[in-house]
Copies of this chain bind each other. A is one copy, B any other.
Protein backbone atom coordinates (compact mmCIF):
# COMPACT_ATOMS: atom_id res chain seq x y z
CA UNK A 1 0.00 0.00 0.00
CA UNK A 2 1.03 3.62 -0.48
CA UNK A 3 1.77 6.17 2.16
CA UNK A 4 -1.72 7.71 2.29
CA UNK A 5 -3.27 4.36 3.08
CA UNK A 6 -0.57 3.51 5.60
CA UNK A 7 -1.19 6.85 7.23
CA UNK A 8 -4.95 6.38 7.37
CA UNK A 9 -4.62 2.87 8.77
CA UNK A 10 -1.92 3.61 11.32
CA UNK A 11 -3.16 6.91 12.63
CA UNK A 12 0.15 8.60 11.82
CA UNK A 13 0.55 11.38 9.28
CA UNK A 14 2.39 10.75 6.02
CA UNK A 15 5.01 13.26 7.13
CA UNK A 16 5.52 11.40 10.38
CA UNK A 17 5.88 8.10 8.58
CA UNK A 18 8.55 9.55 6.30
CA UNK A 19 10.23 11.03 9.32
CA UNK A 20 10.24 7.65 11.07
CA UNK A 21 11.85 6.10 8.05
CA UNK A 22 14.48 8.84 7.92
CA UNK A 23 15.53 8.33 11.50
CA UNK A 24 15.76 4.60 10.97
CA UNK A 25 12.75 3.61 13.00
CA UNK A 26 11.09 1.85 10.12
CA UNK A 27 13.76 0.11 8.09
CA UNK A 28 13.75 -1.41 4.62
CA UNK A 29 10.64 0.16 3.23
CA UNK A 30 10.12 -1.01 -0.32
CA UNK A 31 9.60 1.21 -3.33
CA UNK A 32 7.39 0.76 -6.34
CA UNK A 33 8.71 1.37 -9.84
CA UNK A 34 7.79 5.05 -9.75
CA UNK A 35 9.77 5.63 -6.56
CA UNK A 36 6.80 5.69 -4.20
CA UNK A 37 7.05 3.88 -0.88
CA UNK A 38 5.30 0.52 -0.83
CA UNK A 39 4.28 -0.55 2.65
CA UNK A 40 3.61 -4.17 3.53
CA UNK A 41 1.22 -5.50 6.16
CA UNK A 42 4.25 -6.04 8.32
CA UNK A 43 5.23 -2.38 8.01
CA UNK A 44 1.71 -1.38 8.93
CA UNK A 45 1.74 -3.50 12.07
CA UNK A 46 4.90 -1.75 13.15
CA UNK A 47 3.47 1.66 12.37
CA UNK A 48 0.44 0.89 14.49
CA UNK A 49 2.67 -0.20 17.32
CA UNK A 50 4.70 3.00 16.99
CA UNK A 51 1.56 5.06 17.06
CA UNK A 52 0.35 3.43 20.25
CA UNK A 53 3.66 3.79 22.03
CA UNK A 54 4.23 7.38 20.94
CA UNK A 55 0.70 8.59 21.61
CA UNK A 56 1.16 7.43 25.17
CA UNK A 57 4.49 9.12 25.56
CA UNK A 58 7.24 6.58 25.04
CA UNK A 59 10.31 8.56 23.94
CA UNK A 60 11.20 8.01 20.30
CA UNK A 61 14.67 6.83 21.31
CA UNK A 62 13.09 3.97 23.23
CA UNK A 63 10.63 3.12 20.49
CA UNK A 64 13.61 2.98 18.17
CA UNK A 65 15.57 0.80 20.56
CA UNK A 66 12.62 -1.56 20.83
CA UNK A 67 12.30 -1.88 17.06
CA UNK A 68 16.04 -2.36 16.77
CA UNK A 69 15.98 -5.16 19.35
CA UNK A 70 13.08 -6.86 17.63
CA UNK A 71 15.09 -6.92 14.41
CA UNK A 72 17.98 -8.53 16.21
CA UNK A 73 15.90 -11.56 17.16
CA UNK A 74 15.11 -13.77 20.09
CA UNK A 75 18.05 -13.02 22.35
CA UNK A 76 16.73 -9.51 22.90
CA UNK A 77 13.43 -10.58 24.40
CA UNK A 78 14.30 -9.73 27.97
CA UNK A 79 15.41 -6.22 27.13
CA UNK A 80 12.30 -5.67 25.06
CA UNK A 81 10.12 -6.82 27.93
CA UNK A 82 11.92 -4.43 30.27
CA UNK A 83 11.30 -1.52 27.90
CA UNK A 84 7.61 -2.37 27.80
CA UNK A 85 7.42 -2.71 31.57
CA UNK A 86 9.00 0.69 31.92
CA UNK A 87 6.40 2.11 29.60
CA UNK A 88 3.67 0.32 31.52
CA UNK A 89 4.60 2.47 34.50
CA UNK A 90 4.26 5.59 32.42
CA UNK A 91 0.74 4.51 31.55
CA UNK A 92 -0.14 4.35 35.23
CA UNK A 93 1.23 7.82 35.81
CA UNK A 94 -0.80 9.12 32.90
CA UNK A 95 -3.93 7.47 34.19
CA UNK A 96 -3.55 9.38 37.43
CA UNK A 97 -2.92 12.66 35.60
CA UNK A 98 -5.94 12.05 33.44
CA UNK A 99 -8.19 11.33 36.41
CA UNK A 100 -6.90 14.37 38.29
CA UNK A 101 -7.50 16.62 35.35
CA UNK A 102 -10.91 15.19 34.67
CA UNK A 103 -11.96 15.81 38.24
CA UNK A 104 -10.74 19.40 38.13
CA UNK A 105 -12.23 20.17 34.77
CA UNK A 106 -15.62 18.60 35.41
CA UNK A 107 -15.87 20.57 38.61
CA UNK A 108 -14.99 23.82 36.87
CA UNK A 109 -17.32 23.22 33.95
CA UNK A 110 -20.18 22.53 36.31
CA UNK A 111 -19.35 25.65 38.22
CA UNK A 112 -19.35 27.76 35.08
CA UNK A 113 -22.68 26.32 34.07
CA UNK A 114 -24.17 27.20 37.44
CA UNK A 115 -22.81 30.72 37.31
CA UNK A 116 -23.79 31.35 33.71
CA UNK A 117 -27.36 30.30 34.33
CA UNK A 118 -27.75 32.10 37.61
CA UNK A 119 -29.67 35.32 37.67
CA UNK A 120 -27.02 37.44 39.37
Chain A residues within 8 Å of B, Cβ to Cβ: 49, 52-53, 55-56, 77-78, 80-81, 84-85, 87-88, 91, 94-95, 97-98, 100-102, 104-106, 108-109, 112-113, 115-116
**Is there an interface contact between B112 and A49, defined as CB atoms closer than 8 Å?**
no
Question: Number of copies of this chain in the oligomer?
Answer: 2
- Would you call the interface of chain A mostly helix, strand, loop, or mixed? helix
Taking a contact as CB atoms under 8 Å apart, the answer to whether A115 and B77 are in contact is yes
A52 / chain B contacts, CB cutoff of 8 Å: 97, 100-101, 104
> Which of B80, B98, B116 sits near A95, CB closer than 8 Å?
B98
Contacts A97-B56, A101-B55; A106 near B80 (Cβ below 8 A): no
Nearest B-chain residue to A53, judged by Cβ? B101
Give the chain B neighbours of A94 by CB distance below 8 A: 94, 98
Whether the pair B55, A112 counts as a contact (CB closer than 8 A) is no
User: What 12 new A-B contacts, CB under 8 Å, besides A53-B101, A91-B102, A95-B98?
Assistant: A49-B104, A52-B100, A52-B101, A55-B97, A77-B112, A77-B115, A78-B112, A81-B113, A84-B112, A91-B105, A94-B94, A94-B98
